[in-house]
Chains A and B, each alone.
Chain A
Amino acid sequence: MRARVLLSLLAVALVAAPFVVSGYLVSVLIVALYFAYVGQAWNIMMGFAGQLSLGHALYVGLGAYTAAALFVQSGVPPWLGLIAAIIVAMAFAAAIGFLAFRFGISGVYFALLTIAFAEFTRIGFDHFGWVGASAGLFLPVSQRSGSDLLALRGTPTMFYYVILALAAGAFALSRWLLTSRIGFYWMAIREDQDAAQALGIDTFRYKLAAVVVSAAMTSIAGVFFAFYYNNLFPEQIFSIGRSIEIILGPIIGGLGTLFGPVLGAFVLQLLAEALREGVSALGLEIPGLTQVFYGVCLLVVVMFLPNGVWPPIARRLRL
């Protein structure tokens, strides 16, 4: 009950935000919501099912490139491109998951495998002429006279509502998954795979499901990314730095919790932005400052709140 009230208040605040705050702050919120969304997608795989992916940028990149290339090269509208993007990401995820789980690769080795796939996909796209190779892929930017949701072209406010809807949808989906049979099975696998199997759980199938669901959700973020930023470079979108950025939110907010990834993304992005602003107001420019800040946040959380920021807050709020 309390949780519902607080969640409704948050929803109202987020829906009203573009009417209240400046355009600059809306763009900051878009980034925060973007990370809240991908963080939740990653949390399904690691937080729920215990399968560590350090290469989630792979699915962002695949989603982004699939939809963007279809749009640029063949004029395929983004919502159709989105379906293609999801299919491509799911196919990659199923292949990786099949390889890993069929041959019993787990833990650190599985994480290394996810990095390897992200890396060689990056190198592949660097030489993939149809999508611009290392020179990048650019989406034509039309005059922003109005918003066209079907073409995914429009004002930052439109993009704000799109990513807000995605983040809210991911939250609802996560909640539903966590309270149904698949969620219990994922947590059992995360806690002890042998015991899970002894209770009749087909661990191979459920781990594969976690990877595929997470990848599908992440690829949608990629489509958003492509149409929001309008330029894609393999070097950037598939980079391991991007993969790490995705996982910071859930780790800082609280792995495996529903609200942790959302809270983590907001705390991290808003603080990082405040820091950038503060430093530039002092007339300084320090390259790499954001990364150092991420590192410090991670350090503090790992040392003092190993379960993340959210669980103690949830206790305090008696949720």
Chain B
Amino acid sequence: MTALLAVEGISKRFRGLKAVDDVSFTVPKGGIVALIGPNGAGKTTTFNLIAGVYAPDTGRIVLDGEDITSLRPDRACHAGIGRTFQIVKPFGAMTVLENVVVGALRRSADVAAARSRAAELLERVGLADKAAMPAQGLTLPEKKRLETARALATEPKILLLDEVMAGLRPTEIDRMVETFRALNRETGIAILLTEHVMRAVMALSDRIVVLHHGRKICEGSPEQVARNEAVLESYLGTEAVS
């Protein structure tokens, strides 16, 4: 498989702290890769480096053959990065539909076309009945789904999901997993996700990258990672995965 996203030896230091330390991994075309690790392991920083919020101190990020290292967030979006935020950032006073319209306008300046595209995406993430509501009235899980639809509206090559399952009930998690699986299967979009909900990580990902203190300590299939001793010790705990 060819790599869609290649992260090559990126590091980011905040003052003295090495938040991300020489991390490399790839996401193949159409693949789903999970980035896991304890809080403070550098998952969100890695996301922000890929999405252009910060520029890495060292290393290179390549998306579909294009070097996107240090591109501004809007340029990264143009290159094909779509992302959600761990701490949700809805356009609160705008309606749910309008939120997604903003994303859809990336591809067409025609507002009417953007509206119908947005409506389709709301259907996909299960928010169609909330379309006319102000986004600030949504529950947290709904806001996460809204962010997903908004990011998808920009028609990215890869979707970066930052803890979209947090706070969901198990049945909701299964539904979200199914949503992303269907999305991946039907559109071929690649997904890079960070997640603490292991149930979702195990069900979704083809491959898992484990970070600890900013370093990659393990990479492999869900089964391999679940058996890896370093991972068990630093993150999962010995009886976490059954």
Which segment of A6-14, A117-125, A179-187 sits at the interface? A179-187
Judged by a CB distance under 8 angstroms, whether B204 is at the interface is no
Do A184 and B98 contact each other (CB < 8 Å), given the known contacts A194-B89, A199-B106, A200-B106?
Answer: yes
The reply to whether B154 and A199 form a contact with Cβ atoms under 8 Å apart is yes
CA distance A256 to B151 in the complex (A): 25
The reply to whether A198 and B91 form a contact with Cβ atoms under 8 Å apart is no
Judged by a CB distance under 8 angstroms, whether B33 is at the interface is no
Residues from chain B with a CB closer than 8 A to the CB of A196 are 91, 102
The reply to whether B90 and A198 form a contact with Cβ atoms under 8 Å apart is no
Within 8 A of B (CB), among A194-227: 194-203
CA distance A199 to B52 in the complex (A): 12
Number of interface residues of A (CB under 8 A): 21
CA distance A256 to B91 in the complex (A): 14
Judged by a CB distance under 8 angstroms, whether A285 is at the interface is no
Tell me how far the C-beta of A49 lies from the nearest C-beta in chain B, rounded to whole angstroms: 13
Number of interface residues of B (CB under 8 A): 28
Residues from chain A with a CB closer than 8 A to the CB of B53 are 194
The reply to whether A198 and B111 form a contact with Cβ atoms under 8 Å apart is no
Binding site of A, secondary structure by majority: helix, strand, loop or mixed? Answer: helix
Judged by a CB distance under 8 angstroms, whether A188 is at the interface is yes
Residues from chain B with a CB closer than 8 A to the CB of A179 are 111
Residues from chain B with a CB closer than 8 A to the CB of A192 are 89-92
The reply to whether B102 and A188 form a contact with Cβ atoms under 8 Å apart is yes
Residues from chain B with a CB closer than 8 A to the CB of A195 are 85, 89-91, 147, 150
Most buried by A among B73, B78, B153: B73
Tell me how far the C-beta of B149 lies from the nearest C-beta in chain A, rounded to whole angstroms: 11
Closest Cβ neighbor of B112 among chain A residues: A179
Closest Cβ neighbor of A191 among chain B residues: B91
| Closest 5 pairs between A and B when the two form their complex, measured CB to CB | A191-B91, A200-B77, A195-B89, A197-B73, A192-B89
